[in-house]
Structure 1
Amino acid sequence: MRLSLGENNNIQGLRNFTEWLLKIGDDLVGDTTDDESIVHIPSDILIKNFETALDDFIDFVYPDMLSNLSVENYFKDRVILAPTLDCVTDVNNKMTEGLPRQERVYLSSDSVCAEEGNMEFELDAFSPEILNGINCSGLPPHKLVLKVGAPVMLLRNIDQTNGLCNGMRMQVRRMENHVIECKTLTGNKAGSIVLIQD
């Protein structure tokens, strides 16, 4: 996490906040009972309106997103980290909804190459509904909804020699049926245009 001064340049306030965060990380803050700590969070950093919390958070991290879609380092300098895959899905869906262009849906393959001896069992055990519902780390969702301008991240190594590695962040420039054109935002080839093919 990188903290920076806001408009009021409250250096002491920022210093106090960073020390508080470090103490939380070192387990020096809070009341510990039964191996669980209760940390009291100051009210000035709590989310006040739960119904608009995600919208407010996205607006905070990506201020004036629509007017900055073509700004060189806008998405490179900002990221939202989420604790669970469900949170990642919520953030992705909300950000995609906020983009003005037409969405395109990409679906994963939802069939199994069954062995002859166990074919009936495997077809029942691995039905399309089960395969499409898998949501685990390292696998893309069954239904990927994208729009031009959306920030994306690679989840696996595609071409290490050209820098297309797990964790690389890119921005969608164009989409076709089986190819997505992106501009790389991170890595040693930042700024280059790549084609991702299914």
Structure 2
Amino acid sequence: MRLSLSENTNIQELRNFAEWLLKIGDGLAGDTTDGESIVHIPSDILVKNSETALDDLIDFVYPDMLSNLSVENYFKDRAILAPTLDCVTDVNNKMTAELPGQERAYLSSDSMCTKEENMEFELDAFSPEILINGINCLGLPPHKLVLKVSAPVMLLWNIDQTNGL
């Protein structure tokens, strides 16, 4: 991977690449035209536009994934950065589909506790779609979370520190 250090790593090239990534993240890279920027991506890191682009990207970042599922740092040492949560969902769904085993879906709670005096109003005003089913935002899991045995899961909060979660 381009950001890994080895004996043959050119430190200046690595530093330039890191600065370029930071400029992109800060919105400073590229030529600004009418509020939009055109960023030129080096050809050696460009995923060619094809029908298998996502498969090619996953294979590049996670080579031989199925035989490395039990390797402790395999997933910790790699990442695919995505511009939107929809792209993250596509990558996660694609990678989960490649894992062996049967999928299991977990649904979020989509009801609310209501007081009796406001029950009819609250039930009409806050349907399940409004509460969470249609929300896809940072920090919340999707309404339907599909997992398989051996699928890596990243916890964003310390849920139960005494048990290692």
TM range (shorter): 0.7 to 0.9
Partner of 1:104: 104
Bigger mean CA deviation after superposition, 65-74 or 98-107 = 65-74
Change over 3 Å in CA distance of 1:126–1:61 after alignment to 2: same
Work out whether residues 30 and 40 of structure 1, in 8 Å CA contact, stay in contact via their aligned partners in 2: yes
Work out whether residues 31 and 39 of structure 1, in 8 Å CA contact, stay in contact via their aligned partners in 2: yes
Higher helix proportion (structure 1 or 2): 2
- SS of corresponding position for 2:102: coil
Partner of 2:155: 154
How far apart, CA to CA, are the structure 2 residues paired with 1:139 and 1:147?
Answer: 20
> In structure 2, which of residues 7, 12, 16 is the aligned counterpart of residue 19 of structure 1?
16
Partner of 2:145: 144
Consecutive aligned runs of 4 or more in structure 1 exceeding 6 Å deviation: none
CA-atom RMSD in angstroms? 2.8
Task: Give, in angstroms, the shift of residue 141 of structure 1.
Answer: 1.1
The percentage of counterpart residues that share the same residue type is 78
Task: Give, in angstroms, the shift of residue 146 of structure 1.
Answer: 0.6
Task: Give, in angstroms, the shift of residue 98 of structure 1.
Answer: 0.3
How many corresponding residue pairs?
Answer: 160
TM-score (norm 2): 0.79
How far apart, CA to CA, are the structure 1 residues paired with 2:49 and 2:143?
Answer: 32
How far apart, CA to CA, are the structure 2 residues paired with 1:73 and 1:24?
Answer: 24
Give the residue type in structure 2 aligned to 1:101: G
Change over 3 Å in CA distance of 1:73–1:23 after alignment to 2: closer
1:78 to 2:78 alignment: yes
Give the residue type in structure 2 aligned to 1:153: M
Work out whether residues 105 and 145 of structure 1, in 8 Å CA contact, stay in contact via their aligned partners in 2: yes
How far apart, CA to CA, are the structure 1 residues paired with 2:50 and 2:60?
Answer: 15
Gaps of at least 5 residues in structure 2 are none
**Counterpart mapping for 1:1-198 below 5 A:** 3-4=3-4, 11-12=9-10, 15-16=12-13, 18-23=15-20, 25-26=22-23, 30-33=30-33, 36-130=36-130, 131-164=132-165
**Higher relative contact order (Cα pairs below 8 Å, separated by 6+ residues):** 2
Higher strand proportion (structure 1 or 2): 1
Give the residue type in structure 2 aligned to 1:142: H
How far apart, CA to CA, are the structure 1 residues paired with 2:69 and 2:47?
Answer: 27
Work out whether residues 2 and 14 of structure 2, in 8 Å CA contact, stay in contact via their aligned partners in 1: no
Task: Give, in angstroms, the shift of residue 115 of structure 1.
Answer: 2.2
What do the CA deviations read for 1:13-47 (whole angstroms, capped 9, x no partner)? x7436414414534775334566543322333322
How far apart, CA to CA, are the structure 2 residues paired with 1:54 and 1:136?
Answer: 22
Task: Give, in angstroms, the shift of residue 117 of structure 1.
Answer: 2.9
How far apart, CA to CA, are the structure 1 residues paired with 2:22 and 2:156?
Answer: 27
Gaps of at least 5 residues in structure 1 are 165-198
How far apart, CA to CA, are the structure 1 residues paired with 2:17 and 2:34?
Answer: 22
Change over 3 Å in CA distance of 1:111–1:23 after alignment to 2: closer
- SS of corresponding position for 1:106: strand
